[in-house]
Amino acid sequence: MSFLFNNFVELTVTGLVLGAVYGLVALGYTLVYGVLQLINFAHSEVWMFGSFAAVWVTVALGVAPGSAMPVVIGVLLLALLAAMTVSGGVALLLERVAYRRLIRLDAPKLVALISAIGASFALAEIMGLRDRVAGWIGLRDTLDPYVRSARDNTRFQNPLETEGLFTVGGYTVSNVDVIIIVSAVLMMVALDQFIRRTRTGRGIRAVAQDSEAAALMGVNRNRIIRATFLVGGIMAGAAALLYLMRFGVTRWNAGFLLGVKAFTAAVLGGIGNVRGALLGGFVLGLAENYGSALIGSEWRDVVAFLLLVVILLFRPTGLLGESLGRARA
């Protein structure tokens, strides 16, 4: 208990940072569920591919920490663009290969769920075997910096040096902490406005509420589904870069646990609720940190999922509970 009180500010800030990442990844889960009532368990690998894209950009550019600020900003923007592009592309590929035919045939949700799990393992293994894939296509030597030690941790060379901005309660809040939290909130707000005010966003809400009625009103359901996967992938790519800026490492199976946590965050906030996804992420990040401070870090994951059980027992629809289809304009 004393550790929690003595380090309360640090635990709060780091919990919000982790929760911001959970929340951004959770947006992908909540969007797809809102439109298709489908849990896209392969979304965690969409995030993982984005994290590797960001790493590869920094490796290719070779910019060291401490470079001129315009160079640092340029590298981070390129890494962000690469992560969002790759994650968005993988999400579209996932929709095309793993789901589109099942959706067209109106297959049972269990079949789609099995397809999602299979796609998740396939994507993870492809990244874990990328050195062999490069060998098969004759590019092993050319791509060596990007495929070396495919099963080991891959480090991210953050071009932005971590600097303290201000001190609260004995903890120095860094520039990276502020960037991650503020970026997550701004991206959630942008996505919320996109869904509420744009034509595509209105189409997403219409399909989520009643896909047959939306089709009668001229909404192209297939296009909306593709847009939903793309937007979720873009958010996952942004989350990948923010995660790397704070934690600095990724690996081929890094998406599994983070994906489960992000799904938990989506359920906590209210599955199908965009605002609830970020709120659930923040709540989960804080609960993990506070819980590990009270009963030990080895219980971090237990605390997270126990919180999920408690929330669902007393509020099954999550903290906010409003579905995407019923979101107010």
- Across the range 157-175, mean pLDDT stands at 88
Give the mean pLDDT of the chain: 88
Return the closest-CA partner of residue 22 out of 205, 267, 231, 312. 267
Q: Tens digit of pLDDT for each residue in 130-155?
A: 878 777 776 666 666 666 677 888 88
Using a 10 angstrom Cβ sphere, with 0-12 exposed, 13-18 middle and 19 or more buried, the burial of residue 165 is exposed
pLDDT tens for 70-83 read 999 999 999 999 99
Residue 31: the pLDDT is 92
User: What is the distance, to the nearest Å, from the Cα of residue 196 to the centroid of all Cα atoms in its chain?
Assistant: 21
Q: What is the mean pLDDT of residues 176-193?
A: 94
Q: Helices 221-247 and 199-209 sit at what angle, rounded to 10 degrees?
A: 110
Percent of the chain scoring above 70 in pLDDT: 94
Tens digit of each residue's pLDDT (9 = 90 or more) over 88-135: 999 999 999 999 999 888 888 889 999 999 999 999 999 988 878 777
**Against a cut of 0.75, is the pTM above it?**
yes
329 burial level (CB within 10 Å; 0-12, 13-18, 19+): exposed
Model pLDDT, residue 241? 96
- The H or E element spanning position 174 is strand 171-174
Q: From residue 149, give the alpha-carbon distance in Å to each of 130, 143, 154, 288, 312.
A: 9, 12, 8, 31, 41
**Domain CATH code at residue 310:** 1.10.3470
Task: Catalogue the long-range contacts made by 218-223 (C-beta closer than 8 Å, 24 or more residues apart).
Answer: 222/100
Q: What is the pLDDT of residues 268-280, one digit of tens each?
A: 988 888 889 999 9
Provide the residue range defining the domain that includes 250: 2-326
What angle, 0 to 180 degrees and rounded to 10, lies between the N-to-C axes of helices 109-128 and 255-269?
A: 140
Tell me, what amino acid is at 203? G
**Whole-angstrom Cα distance, residue 241 to residue 263?**
19
Could you tell me the two tokens for 32? 């797809």
Q: How many domains does the chain have?
A: 1
* Residue 309: predicted pLDDT: 85
Weakest-pLDDT range from 180-189, 208-217, 221-230, 253-262: 208-217
- 3-state helix, strand, coil split of the chain in percent (to 5) is 75, 5, 20
